[in-house]
Amino acid sequence: MKKVLVLGRAGIGKSTFCQYVTYRWAKGELWPQYKLIILIHLRNLTEYNYSSGKKYLPFDLVKEEYFPFHNLSQIDPSVFEEHFEKCQILWILDGYDEFAQNPLEHLKKLFDYILDTQHHILTSRPYAITLSYNVKMEMTGFTNDNIVKYIEQFFEQMKDDMEDASIKGQNLLTLLKSNSSIWGVAHIPVNLELICSLWSDHDWSKTKALTITALYDSIIEWLCRRHLSRKNIKHERKRKKALYELCEAELQFLEVLAFKAMESNQIILPPTLLEETEKETHYNLDEQPELLNIGILKSYGDNSTSNQVTPEQQHYFVHLSFQEHFAARHLLKTLNSSNKQKAINFINNHKYNQRFLLVFIFASGLLAQSDYASLIDRFWSTMHGEPIDIIGLKHIKLIIECFEELANQTVFPQRPSLLRIIAQWLDICTKSHVSAITKNLMESISRATSLGNTAIIQKALVHLLQSENEQTQNSALQIISNFTIIEPPPHFLSAILALLRPDNSRDLKERACNLLGKIGEKAATTEAITALLNALQDQDEWVICEANEALQKIVGKAATNEVITALRNALQHELSEVRGSACEALGNIGEKAATNEVVTALLNALQDKASWIRTKACEALGKIGEKAATNEVITALRNALRDQDYRVRSGACDFLGNIGEKAATNEVVTALLNALRDQDYHVRSGACEALGKIGEKAATNEAITALLNALQDQYSSVIERAGEALQNIVRKAATNKVISALLNALRDQDSWIRGKASEALGEIREKAATNEVISALLNALQDQDWRVRTGACKALGEIGEKAATNEVICALLNALRDQDYHVRSGACEVLGKVGEKAATNEVITALRNALQDQDSNVIWRAGEALQNIVGKAATNEVISALLNALRDQDYHVRWVAHKALREVGEKAAKNEVISALLNALQDQDWRVRTGACKALGEIGEKAATNEVICALLNALRDQHSNVRSGACGGLRKIVGKAATNEVISALLNALQDELYEVRERACEALGKISENVATNGVITALLNARHDQESSVQYKAYAALREIDEKAAANDVISGLVNALQDQDEWVRTDACEALGKIVGKAATNDVISALLNALRDEHSSVRYGACGGLRKIVGKAATDEVITALLNALRDESYE
């Protein structure tokens, strides 16, 4: 029996792992030996879902979890039982810790039976599991590549809302990598999600360096703002200090709680710890339950998916690092209180305890903030004072880690003395030659990004490099390699280069080269390049290897004329290692190296005796690209296709492909066709790619035949490149010869070639719409191989409406009944593309049936096809079929029918259509009701009858939020001038809906109403919505106000805004000022000016600021003495935050 236990703390990604492997199995990519994989989220095994008094079998568990609202009487449980008895099921049981805390006795026996008798994967948090497993795995978080991919996907999803989403994601990645501590915490999925969310909401473009303390403080500020938004407390214009005052109770409670948890060494916080915190803080969680709901603390229990946290349950911080951060805040506040001795004692007792290291690091970082700056002396005198460990190593590590958090933030009195102490330890470390000390110190140094760029440390390091003791120099190089050197001064580089002298030891020269490579482009001086080129002549191969690697890292972005000249000269060097490295470096420089002299030198290198240098020369010319594409170079590389070394031949192919059409001579094409028969698959693959890039001039019968034959190659890379080349060629050059060659290939004995030929014909598109081609593709629809049939479908789809003959449509309808889902999916797609000619009852019915297919791809394609057909051909026949589909038993069919009717729009504005949609608003399925709302909206004003409006108003009270959102959207598109008081009242109520999408749609609908009904109530409600907790609602409210303003600055609108200046909410008054300013000249009445002048005396600075803004917009038409005097007085207002 295969049993695996997967451990991992909260937020690490256990549930995501379970979903991912289940998905991979469903796609046929994992564990084909199992007939079923059943994923059970154990948190769902509650009394509510599984009432006592009933005996549950394994099949009951599947029914309840996957089909709770469906009658499965038609399914024979014996099929499931057969798989169960034969152990052909893999159970994935996610969240044992959530089940084990409150196990249901009537389910425990079933659960234990599955564990004992079935293959399974069980996930749990480490502290909650007592079961014994031979195979255990632990999830430790994201890998480096995972972080990169997550950030890319996160910001890719935001590109519609953020113009520079991709750039913002790259900037975040760069910043994370700049600090090893931050890079470390980003490996925890929940942390990375918070970091990305924070980054997307703020402008960090000017941030060049970030400490872990500053990052966590920013996350907490962001969470506080979200918390206040949920409580409908205005905070947008509050600075951090004022914001924290609004959240003082929540923050203080978490700080004390975190500190107590750290003291008692607890990660899971029991209710008793919350009670102790209540006593100390004098807060009562029964009266103030929101203290736990700021978003940083999670409850642990049956209701773990809820946003509300209750004091009766156990809790945990979303990550231990947040617990440490809050503990550090409390430590500093205690240090600043009358009870400061308690904090001093805590520091003295625990400063060398590794468990509290991050607490002290956070505390040091917080000293950079003005609230804690006065504590710098007290904190550092305590940290640096007695007791100190006898050896001193632990102490200096602590100093380095804590110093780093302050180094870039501020200058403090202890800075020089601390740096000197660190420099002394560097001296001790390098001269003692004790590896244990060096290793320990390097761990801390590697996390210190600023130390290596301070003058005191650099001076100390140079002194050590200039030592006469080689062992000291070696140790110094080893330590320096762990520093981050951003701007190395000249004397620092000179000290490193001096170690490359030929008479020095191999280790010394190796480490010096390695260090230059780590410094990178900042080390790209003429002296450094010359020294590395000289090092390539070293007698030791390891030194040569390190010198070469360093050279490649340095030259890429720092290609000065001096560097290029030095490398060009190196191509003539007598040692092959130097010549090869120079070729590689010139290739890394790329186009900047494309001088006649360099190209000539690389051409000479193509004649080098050493084949690996000829290879490097080919690669270098390829990277230089089109600027090197002279006739002489092309001829030389064509000849290189006959080189004895396959790497040279492959490199020549790459170059010819990179220059594309410039290489498109008959001689080159012939040479590449010969290369398709090369013994080495790298060459064959490269030749395919090159022919594809050359394009039209390679579109000969001979080339097409050769590429089709290459599809039978034994290597997948050749097959893949040949297929891509075929598509590129036929797309650019659909000549009769090409089409004839592909038709011949459709009759080939090899099914793979027949499939690729059909796909290639699809690339030709309309040019392939001949009777001969269509007839051949119809025959291909009868092929024995599903890939050929699928390819034929795709080709017919690309040809489009010109392929829409009765014979083709009939063949596609037959394909909808194909055994293979790829073919059925392809047939659906084609029917959607051929458009109006496919708009028959028979086709509509067949696509309706396809909506009940077992494969989700077929269902999806069938839905798209229906929408495409009705969008182009809204005939009575089509509409009638869709109306019948509204009564189908399958909700997929009903839902897609509504989506299709939306595509019809005004063409569907017939009484029977509208009547059917009104009936659909009573459907049991929320998806259908939502679709009906949206369909009525798409029909537009022609659907704006009293009956429709009344039905949509009723839908605004639907239990399901998506239906309410759809109703708002529908009303938005049909109300216009028909906006009655009842409609407006319903939309105003929708502005209070719990779902933000409903509030968004309500704002949009209110923006569309006529100016005649833009009452004070509407304007006030939209002004309030400008401070919704969701930014998207704020934006929609602002847009609605602008739409109303632009239609007409009617007296009622202006009156509403003037009245809003008396609102109790300061932010409503502020926005009213700004809105009056935006109406500009229309609003420049005495009443408006008087109201804005009064607003300049408002008790809230934000309102006064808004009044200034409003007056600024209209002052040109109302520059009275009173207005000017008031604005001059406003210049002396110092209180605006």
Q: How far is CA 853 from the centre of its chain?
A: 33
Q: Where are the domains of the chain?
A: 3-140, 319-405, 414-485, 488-558, 734-872, 1049-1137
Helices (H), 625-750: 631-640, 646-659, 666-675, 681-694, 701-710, 716-732, 736-745
Summarised one tens digit per residue, pLDDT across range 584-597 is 888 877 777 677 78
Residue 57 has pLDDT above 90, yes or no: no
Confidence of residue 1137 (pLDDT cuts 50, 70, 90): very low
d(CA 98, CA 878): 52
Strand order across the beta sheet in which 3-7 lies: 36-41, 89-94, 119-124, 3-7, 136-138
332 pLDDT above the threshold of 90? yes
Q: Looking at residue 92, what is its pLDDT?
A: 93
Say whether pLDDT at 305 is over 50: no
Confidence band (pLDDT; 50, 70, 90) for 120?
very high
pLDDT at 450 over 60: yes
**pLDDT above 90 for 359:** yes
pLDDT at 324 > cutoff 90: yes
Q: Which pLDDT score is estimated for 811? A: 87
Residue 241 has pLDDT above 50, yes or no: yes
489 preceded by a cis bond (ω within 30 of 0): no
Instruction: Give the pLDDT score at 275.
Output: 92
Q: Of 277 and 1097, which is predicted with more confidence?
A: 277
pLDDT of residue 360: 95
pLDDT at 340: 92
Closest by alpha carbon to 783, among 809, 726, 745? 745
120 backbone dihedrals φ, ψ, rounded to 5°: -160, 160
CA-wise closest residue to 132 among 26, 3, 319, 264: 3
Between CA 193 and CA 155 the distance in angstroms is: 11
In terms of CATH architecture, what is 488-558?
Alpha Horseshoe (1.25)
| Residue 102 or 985, more confident | 985
Confidence class for position 350, pLDDT limits 50, 70, 90? very high
Give the mean pLDDT of 629-651: 84
- For 308-346, the DSSP string reads ---TTSEEEESSHHHHHHHHHHHHHHHHTSTTHHHHHHH
State how far the Cα of 897 lies from the Cα of 935, in Å rounded to an integer: 10
- Burial classification of residue 617, based on how many CB atoms lie within 10 Å of its CB (0-12 exposed, 13-18 middle, 19 or more buried): buried
The answer to which of 531-540, 949-958, 1042-1051 has the lowest mean pLDDT is 1042-1051
- pLDDT of res. 1084: 66
- Position 901 scores a pLDDT of 67
Mean pLDDT of 109-130: 83
Mean pLDDT of all residues in the chain? 80
The four Cα atoms 182, 188, 189, 192 give a dihedral, to 10 degrees, of: -10
At the top level of CATH, the class of 1049-1137 is: mainly alpha
Q: What is the pLDDT of residues 1027-1057, one digit of tens each?
A: 777 767 776 787 787 677 655 455 666 777 7
Q: Write the pLDDT tens digit of every residue in 846-892.
A: 887 887 787 767 877 887 787 777 766 556 566 666 666 666 776 66
Nearest to 359 by CA among 384, 331, 335: 331
Please indicate whether residue 112 or residue 334 has the higher confidence score (pLDDT): 334
pLDDT at 410 over 60: no
pLDDT recorded at residue 343: 94
| H helix intervals, 873-960 | 876-885, 891-904, 911-920, 926-939, 946-955
Q: What is the full DSSP assignment across 949-969?
A: HHHHHHHTT-SSHHHHHHHHH
CATH architecture of 734-872: Alpha Horseshoe (1.25)
Q: Identify the architecture of domain 3-140 in CATH.
A: 3-Layer(aba) Sandwich (3.40)
Q: What is the pLDDT of residue 892?
A: 65
Residue 250: its pLDDT value, please?
A: 92
Predicted pLDDT of residue 1051:
64
Residues 1060-1066, mean pLDDT to the nearest whole number: 75
363: pLDDT confidence band, cut at 50, 70 and 90?
A: very high
| Nearest CA among 508, 530, 528, 625 for reference residue 578 | 530
Question: Quick one: which of 97, 90, 91 has its CA closest to 12?
Answer: 97
Specify burial of residue 550 (Cβ count, 10 A radius: 0-12, 13-18, 19+): buried
Q: With b meaning 16 or more CB within 10 Å and e meaning fewer, what string describes 456-489? A: ebbebbbebbebeeeebbbbbbbbbbbbbbeebe
Identify the pLDDT of residue 306. 43
- pLDDT tens for residues 475-506? 888 888 888 877 788 889 999 999 998 889 99
Give the pLDDT band (50/70/90) at residue 105: confident
Domains 3-140 and 734-872 are alike in CATH topology? no
Q: Quick: pLDDT tens for 765-816.
A: 666 567 788 888 888 888 888 888 888 888 877 776 666 678 888 888 888 8
Write the CA distances from 522 to 143, 533, 556, 639, 767, integer angstroms: 29, 17, 11, 40, 56
Residue 1125 CB coordination number (10 Å): 11
| Mean pLDDT (whole number) for 638-657 | 86
